[in-house]
Structure 1
Amino acid sequence: MITLRNIIVKLILGTFLIVGINSCDEGGEPDPGSTLVVEMAGDWYVKAYDESGTNALTGFSLFSTYNTSDNNNSLWLDDHESIFPLKSKVSVDLSTMTFSISDAENLFDAAGIATVTEGKVLEKATTSTGGNVVDSIAFKVTLQNDPGNIYLIGGYKRTGLLEDEH
Protein backbone atom coordinates (compact mmCIF):
# COMPACT_ATOMS: atom_id res chain seq x y z
CA MET A 1 0.00 0.00 0.00
CA ILE A 2 1.28 3.41 -0.94
CA THR A 3 1.38 5.81 1.95
CA LEU A 4 2.44 9.39 2.27
CA ARG A 5 5.39 8.25 4.37
CA ASN A 6 6.64 5.88 1.61
CA ILE A 7 6.36 8.66 -0.98
CA ILE A 8 8.37 11.08 1.18
CA VAL A 9 11.08 8.48 1.88
CA LYS A 10 11.36 7.67 -1.85
CA LEU A 11 11.57 11.39 -2.72
CA ILE A 12 14.32 11.95 -0.15
CA LEU A 13 16.31 8.91 -1.34
CA GLY A 14 15.83 9.96 -4.97
CA THR A 15 17.08 13.47 -4.17
CA PHE A 16 20.21 12.08 -2.47
CA LEU A 17 20.84 9.78 -5.42
CA ILE A 18 20.53 12.60 -7.98
CA VAL A 19 22.75 14.94 -5.92
CA GLY A 20 25.32 12.17 -5.40
CA ILE A 21 25.55 11.36 -9.10
CA ASN A 22 25.79 15.01 -10.15
CA SER A 23 28.50 15.78 -7.61
CA CYS A 24 30.99 13.35 -9.19
CA ASP A 25 33.81 15.17 -10.96
CA GLU A 26 34.37 13.89 -14.47
CA GLY A 27 36.66 16.80 -15.36
CA GLY A 28 39.92 14.84 -15.32
CA GLU A 29 43.04 15.56 -13.31
CA PRO A 30 43.41 19.05 -11.85
CA ASP A 31 46.48 21.08 -12.81
CA PRO A 32 48.08 22.41 -9.61
CA GLY A 33 50.61 24.43 -11.61
CA SER A 34 54.24 24.70 -10.61
CA THR A 35 56.81 27.18 -9.45
CA LEU A 36 59.16 29.11 -11.69
CA VAL A 37 62.22 27.14 -10.53
CA VAL A 38 60.59 23.68 -10.53
CA GLU A 39 63.29 22.20 -12.80
CA MET A 40 66.00 23.13 -10.29
CA ALA A 41 64.09 22.31 -7.11
CA GLY A 42 64.25 19.07 -5.19
CA ASP A 43 66.07 17.00 -2.64
CA TRP A 44 69.64 15.97 -3.39
CA TYR A 45 72.26 13.69 -1.92
CA VAL A 46 75.50 15.66 -1.89
CA LYS A 47 79.03 15.46 -0.55
CA ALA A 48 81.35 18.31 0.42
CA TYR A 49 84.77 18.29 -1.23
CA ASP A 50 87.84 20.45 -0.97
CA GLU A 51 88.14 23.18 -3.61
CA SER A 52 89.83 20.85 -6.10
CA GLY A 53 86.96 18.38 -5.89
CA THR A 54 89.29 15.43 -5.37
CA ASN A 55 89.04 14.94 -1.60
CA ALA A 56 85.60 14.19 -0.14
CA LEU A 57 85.24 15.83 3.27
CA THR A 58 81.86 14.26 4.09
CA GLY A 59 79.71 11.33 3.14
CA PHE A 60 76.34 11.84 1.44
CA SER A 61 73.98 14.28 3.17
CA LEU A 62 70.46 15.36 2.30
CA PHE A 63 70.35 18.80 0.71
CA SER A 64 67.32 20.72 -0.60
CA THR A 65 66.66 23.39 -3.20
CA TYR A 66 63.25 25.03 -3.37
CA ASN A 67 61.45 28.13 -4.56
CA THR A 68 61.15 31.32 -2.56
CA SER A 69 57.77 32.72 -1.55
CA ASP A 70 58.20 35.38 -4.25
CA ASN A 71 58.28 32.63 -6.92
CA ASN A 72 60.83 34.57 -8.94
CA ASN A 73 64.34 33.87 -10.25
CA SER A 74 65.68 32.83 -6.88
CA LEU A 75 66.10 29.56 -5.05
CA TRP A 76 66.77 28.48 -1.49
CA LEU A 77 69.83 26.31 -0.80
CA ASP A 78 69.29 24.35 2.42
CA ASP A 79 71.71 21.80 3.87
CA HIS A 80 69.49 21.14 6.92
CA GLU A 81 72.64 21.89 8.96
CA SER A 82 74.00 18.46 8.00
CA ILE A 83 77.24 19.57 6.27
CA PHE A 84 77.76 23.02 7.74
CA PRO A 85 75.17 25.64 8.57
CA LEU A 86 73.94 26.81 5.15
CA LYS A 87 70.57 28.22 4.24
CA SER A 88 70.84 31.03 1.72
CA LYS A 89 68.86 32.44 -1.16
CA VAL A 90 70.64 32.46 -4.54
CA SER A 91 69.88 34.10 -7.88
CA VAL A 92 68.94 31.74 -10.71
CA ASP A 93 69.39 31.89 -14.48
CA LEU A 94 66.78 29.41 -15.72
CA SER A 95 68.02 29.46 -19.33
CA THR A 96 71.38 27.98 -18.25
CA MET A 97 70.19 26.24 -15.05
CA THR A 98 72.88 28.10 -13.06
CA PHE A 99 72.85 29.94 -9.74
CA SER A 100 75.10 32.15 -7.62
CA ILE A 101 75.11 34.89 -4.99
CA SER A 102 77.69 37.11 -3.32
CA ASP A 103 77.56 37.91 0.38
CA ALA A 104 74.15 36.36 1.03
CA GLU A 105 72.60 36.12 4.45
CA ASN A 106 73.09 32.64 5.87
CA LEU A 107 70.00 31.94 7.98
CA PHE A 108 71.56 28.97 9.79
CA ASP A 109 74.51 31.07 11.01
CA ALA A 110 73.54 34.30 12.78
CA ALA A 111 76.93 35.90 12.15
CA GLY A 112 77.49 34.25 8.79
CA ILE A 113 77.50 35.35 5.21
CA ALA A 114 77.71 32.86 2.33
CA THR A 115 78.98 33.29 -1.20
CA VAL A 116 77.93 30.71 -3.78
CA THR A 117 79.63 30.51 -7.18
CA GLU A 118 79.58 28.21 -10.20
CA GLY A 119 76.25 26.67 -9.20
CA LYS A 120 74.58 24.49 -11.78
CA VAL A 121 71.98 21.79 -12.25
CA LEU A 122 72.53 19.38 -15.11
CA GLU A 123 69.62 17.26 -16.30
CA LYS A 124 70.22 13.49 -16.43
CA ALA A 125 73.97 14.05 -16.11
CA THR A 126 74.97 11.50 -13.49
CA THR A 127 74.17 8.10 -12.06
CA SER A 128 72.89 7.58 -8.53
CA THR A 129 74.48 5.06 -6.18
CA GLY A 130 71.72 2.64 -7.19
CA GLY A 131 72.56 2.99 -10.89
CA ASN A 132 69.71 5.30 -11.93
CA VAL A 133 70.29 8.20 -14.36
CA VAL A 134 69.43 11.43 -12.51
CA ASP A 135 70.05 15.18 -12.44
CA SER A 136 73.24 16.44 -10.81
CA ILE A 137 73.98 19.57 -8.80
CA ALA A 138 77.33 21.26 -8.09
CA PHE A 139 78.45 24.59 -6.64
CA LYS A 140 81.24 26.24 -4.69
CA VAL A 141 80.58 27.94 -1.37
CA THR A 142 82.61 30.10 0.98
CA LEU A 143 81.42 30.96 4.46
CA GLN A 144 82.30 34.04 6.46
CA ASN A 145 82.75 31.92 9.60
CA ASP A 146 85.33 29.75 7.78
CA PRO A 147 87.52 32.29 5.92
CA GLY A 148 89.97 31.13 3.29
CA ASN A 149 88.23 27.82 2.61
CA ILE A 150 86.24 27.14 -0.55
CA TYR A 151 84.12 24.01 -0.59
CA LEU A 152 82.75 22.20 -3.62
CA ILE A 153 79.33 20.66 -3.04
CA GLY A 154 78.20 18.05 -5.54
CA GLY A 155 75.75 15.22 -5.85
CA TYR A 156 72.62 13.84 -7.44
CA LYS A 157 68.87 14.33 -7.24
CA ARG A 158 67.04 12.11 -4.79
CA THR A 159 65.01 9.45 -6.60
CA GLY A 160 63.03 8.11 -3.65
CA LEU A 161 64.12 4.59 -4.59
CA LEU A 162 65.43 2.49 -1.73
CA GLU A 163 68.72 1.68 -3.47
CA ASP A 164 69.52 5.40 -3.73
CA GLU A 165 68.78 6.39 -0.13
CA HIS A 166 71.61 7.22 2.27
Structure 2
Amino acid sequence: MKNYIIKLFSLILSIGIITGCELDDPEIEYAAVTELSGEWYIQYEIQQTDGSWVNPGFGYFTLLTSNTAANSETEMMVNDTDGWGIQYKVNVSGLSFSASDVTELGGSGNVTVSNGIVIKDGGFSTSGVVADSIYLEFVQPTDDPTVYRASGVRRTGFLEDEH
Protein backbone atom coordinates (compact mmCIF):
# COMPACT_ATOMS: atom_id res chain seq x y z
CA MET A 1 0.00 0.00 0.00
CA LYS A 2 2.84 2.33 0.93
CA ASN A 3 4.55 1.53 -2.37
CA TYR A 4 1.32 2.32 -4.24
CA ILE A 5 1.02 5.77 -2.56
CA ILE A 6 4.65 6.60 -3.37
CA LYS A 7 4.15 5.67 -7.05
CA LEU A 8 0.94 7.71 -7.24
CA PHE A 9 2.62 10.70 -5.60
CA SER A 10 5.58 10.38 -8.01
CA LEU A 11 3.21 10.29 -10.99
CA ILE A 12 1.34 13.40 -9.83
CA LEU A 13 4.63 15.21 -9.16
CA SER A 14 5.95 14.24 -12.61
CA ILE A 15 2.81 15.53 -14.30
CA GLY A 16 3.14 18.79 -12.35
CA ILE A 17 6.73 19.26 -13.42
CA ILE A 18 6.00 18.51 -17.07
CA THR A 19 3.00 20.85 -17.26
CA GLY A 20 4.78 23.56 -15.30
CA CYS A 21 7.12 24.37 -18.19
CA GLU A 22 7.21 27.98 -19.27
CA LEU A 23 5.08 28.80 -22.28
CA ASP A 24 5.09 31.84 -24.50
CA ASP A 25 2.85 34.70 -23.45
CA PRO A 26 -0.49 34.52 -25.22
CA GLU A 27 -1.12 37.04 -27.96
CA ILE A 28 -3.70 39.57 -26.83
CA GLU A 29 -6.44 40.09 -29.37
CA TYR A 30 -8.92 42.91 -29.14
CA ALA A 31 -12.50 42.94 -30.32
CA ALA A 32 -13.03 44.20 -33.86
CA VAL A 33 -14.98 47.23 -32.60
CA THR A 34 -12.85 48.01 -29.53
CA GLU A 35 -12.86 51.77 -30.15
CA LEU A 36 -16.68 51.78 -30.16
CA SER A 37 -17.18 49.36 -27.29
CA GLY A 38 -17.82 50.53 -23.77
CA GLU A 39 -20.20 51.74 -21.12
CA TRP A 40 -21.70 55.16 -21.73
CA TYR A 41 -23.63 57.62 -19.57
CA ILE A 42 -26.23 59.17 -21.85
CA GLN A 43 -29.19 61.53 -21.70
CA TYR A 44 -32.23 61.43 -23.96
CA GLU A 45 -33.89 64.24 -25.86
CA ILE A 46 -37.16 64.13 -27.79
CA GLN A 47 -37.63 65.73 -31.20
CA GLN A 48 -40.60 68.09 -31.33
CA THR A 49 -42.84 68.59 -34.38
CA ASP A 50 -40.99 71.83 -35.25
CA GLY A 51 -37.67 69.90 -35.35
CA SER A 52 -36.31 71.25 -32.06
CA TRP A 53 -35.05 68.96 -29.30
CA VAL A 54 -36.32 68.95 -25.71
CA ASN A 55 -34.64 67.28 -22.74
CA PRO A 56 -37.49 65.73 -20.73
CA GLY A 57 -35.33 65.63 -17.59
CA PHE A 58 -35.08 61.85 -17.34
CA GLY A 59 -31.50 62.08 -16.05
CA TYR A 60 -28.64 59.77 -17.01
CA PHE A 61 -28.97 56.23 -18.34
CA THR A 62 -26.42 53.51 -19.08
CA LEU A 63 -25.84 52.42 -22.66
CA LEU A 64 -23.57 49.47 -23.46
CA THR A 65 -21.88 48.94 -26.82
CA SER A 66 -19.96 45.78 -27.64
CA ASN A 67 -18.86 43.47 -30.42
CA THR A 68 -21.17 40.75 -31.70
CA ALA A 69 -20.43 37.04 -31.40
CA ALA A 70 -19.08 37.15 -34.96
CA ASN A 71 -16.51 39.78 -33.83
CA SER A 72 -16.98 41.62 -37.12
CA GLU A 73 -15.69 45.12 -37.88
CA THR A 74 -19.01 45.91 -39.58
CA GLU A 75 -21.48 45.26 -36.76
CA MET A 76 -21.92 46.07 -33.09
CA MET A 77 -24.45 45.39 -30.32
CA VAL A 78 -26.17 48.27 -28.54
CA ASN A 79 -27.81 47.52 -25.21
CA ASP A 80 -29.93 50.22 -23.62
CA THR A 81 -29.96 48.71 -20.14
CA ASP A 82 -31.56 51.52 -18.13
CA GLY A 83 -33.73 53.43 -20.60
CA TRP A 84 -36.00 51.38 -22.82
CA GLY A 85 -34.27 48.10 -22.00
CA ILE A 86 -33.80 47.23 -25.66
CA GLN A 87 -30.91 45.48 -27.40
CA TYR A 88 -30.19 45.60 -31.12
CA LYS A 89 -27.46 45.18 -33.71
CA VAL A 90 -26.17 48.13 -35.75
CA ASN A 91 -23.99 48.40 -38.85
CA VAL A 92 -20.55 49.97 -38.29
CA SER A 93 -18.33 51.98 -40.60
CA GLY A 94 -15.27 53.42 -38.87
CA LEU A 95 -16.56 55.29 -35.82
CA SER A 96 -20.08 55.71 -37.28
CA PHE A 97 -23.02 53.35 -36.91
CA SER A 98 -26.64 53.02 -38.02
CA ALA A 99 -29.46 50.51 -38.38
CA SER A 100 -32.53 50.55 -40.56
CA ASP A 101 -35.61 48.85 -39.17
CA VAL A 102 -33.70 46.05 -37.38
CA THR A 103 -35.39 43.64 -35.00
CA GLU A 104 -34.98 44.40 -31.32
CA LEU A 105 -33.58 41.24 -29.76
CA GLY A 106 -36.15 41.21 -26.95
CA GLY A 107 -38.91 40.92 -29.53
CA SER A 108 -40.61 44.24 -28.83
CA GLY A 109 -40.43 45.51 -32.43
CA ASN A 110 -38.03 47.14 -34.85
CA VAL A 111 -35.47 49.87 -34.19
CA THR A 112 -34.08 52.46 -36.57
CA VAL A 113 -30.81 54.19 -35.63
CA SER A 114 -29.31 57.08 -37.58
CA ASN A 115 -26.40 59.51 -37.24
CA GLY A 116 -24.66 57.25 -34.71
CA ILE A 117 -21.07 58.24 -34.03
CA VAL A 118 -18.35 57.92 -31.42
CA ILE A 119 -16.06 60.94 -31.15
CA LYS A 120 -12.64 60.21 -29.63
CA ASP A 121 -11.93 62.65 -26.76
CA GLY A 122 -15.07 64.52 -27.81
CA GLY A 123 -16.64 65.16 -24.43
CA PHE A 124 -16.12 65.82 -20.76
CA SER A 125 -17.24 63.71 -17.84
CA THR A 126 -19.00 65.23 -14.85
CA SER A 127 -15.64 65.85 -13.14
CA GLY A 128 -14.17 67.49 -16.27
CA VAL A 129 -12.07 64.55 -17.48
CA VAL A 130 -11.78 64.35 -21.28
CA ALA A 131 -13.67 61.26 -22.49
CA ASP A 132 -14.97 59.77 -25.71
CA SER A 133 -18.49 60.85 -26.58
CA ILE A 134 -21.36 59.06 -28.29
CA TYR A 135 -24.33 60.40 -30.24
CA LEU A 136 -27.24 58.66 -31.95
CA GLU A 137 -30.80 59.29 -33.06
CA PHE A 138 -33.34 56.46 -32.96
CA VAL A 139 -36.96 55.48 -33.25
CA GLN A 140 -37.86 53.01 -30.51
CA PRO A 141 -39.61 49.69 -31.21
CA THR A 142 -43.22 50.86 -30.87
CA ASP A 143 -45.81 52.28 -33.22
CA ASP A 144 -44.85 55.76 -32.00
CA PRO A 145 -42.76 57.51 -34.74
CA THR A 146 -41.13 59.89 -32.22
CA VAL A 147 -37.42 60.44 -32.86
CA TYR A 148 -35.18 60.33 -29.79
CA ARG A 149 -31.64 61.55 -29.46
CA ALA A 150 -29.15 59.98 -27.07
CA SER A 151 -25.82 61.59 -26.32
CA GLY A 152 -23.23 61.25 -23.60
CA VAL A 153 -19.72 60.20 -22.64
CA ARG A 154 -17.84 56.99 -22.00
CA ARG A 155 -17.77 55.89 -18.35
CA THR A 156 -14.40 56.85 -16.85
CA GLY A 157 -14.54 54.65 -13.77
CA PHE A 158 -13.80 57.59 -11.47
CA LEU A 159 -16.14 57.74 -8.51
CA GLU A 160 -16.97 61.42 -9.06
CA ASP A 161 -18.21 60.62 -12.60
CA GLU A 162 -20.69 57.90 -11.64
CA HIS A 163 -24.38 58.59 -12.24
TM-score, with structure 1 as normaliser: 0.77
Instruction: Determine which of 85, 97, 100 is the counterpart of 2:98.
Output: 100
Measure the CA separation in 2 of the matches of 1:28 and 1:103.
Answer: 46
Uncovered stretches (5+) of structure 1, i.e. residues with no partner: 1-18
Per-residue displacement from partner, 1:73-94 (whole Å, max 9, x unpaired)? 10001011x2113211000002
SS of aligned partner of 2:160: helix
Q: Distance in 1 between matches of 2:162 and 2:21?
A: 38
Q: 1:123–1:107: structure 2 CA closer, same or farther, 3 Å change rule?
A: same
1: CA distance, partners of 2:24 / 2:129: 31
Given that 1:119 and 1:140 are in contact with CA atoms closer than 8 Å, whether structure 2 keeps it comes out as: yes
CA shift, 1:146, in A, is 4.4
- From the superposition, tell whether residues 79 and 25 of structure 1 become closer, same or farther in structure 2 (CA, over 3 Å): farther
Alignment of 1:57-136 (within 5 A): 57-72=57-72, 73-80=74-81, 82-94=82-94, 97-110=95-108, 112-136=109-133
CA RMSD of aligned residues (A): 2.6
Q: 1:48 deviation in Å? A: 1.0
> 1:48 pairs with 18, 21, 44, which one?
44
Q: Distance in 1 between matches of 2:128 and 2:110?
A: 36
| Distance of 2:158 and 2:126 partners within structure 1 | 10
- Which structure has the larger Rg? 1
Gap runs ≥5 in structure 2: 1-14
SS state at 1:50 partner: strand
Deviation track 1:55-81 (CA, whole Å, cap 9, x = no partner) reads 24421111100000111110001011x
Please list the CA deviations of residues 30-58 of structure 1 after superposition, one character each: whole Å capped at 9, or x if unmatched: 43211110100011011111124442442
In the alignment, the residues of structure 2 paired with residue 24 and residue 133 of structure 1 have an alpha-carbon distance, to the nearest angstrom, of 44
TM-score (norm 2): 0.79
1:26-41 aligned at under 5 Å gives the runs: 30-41=26-37
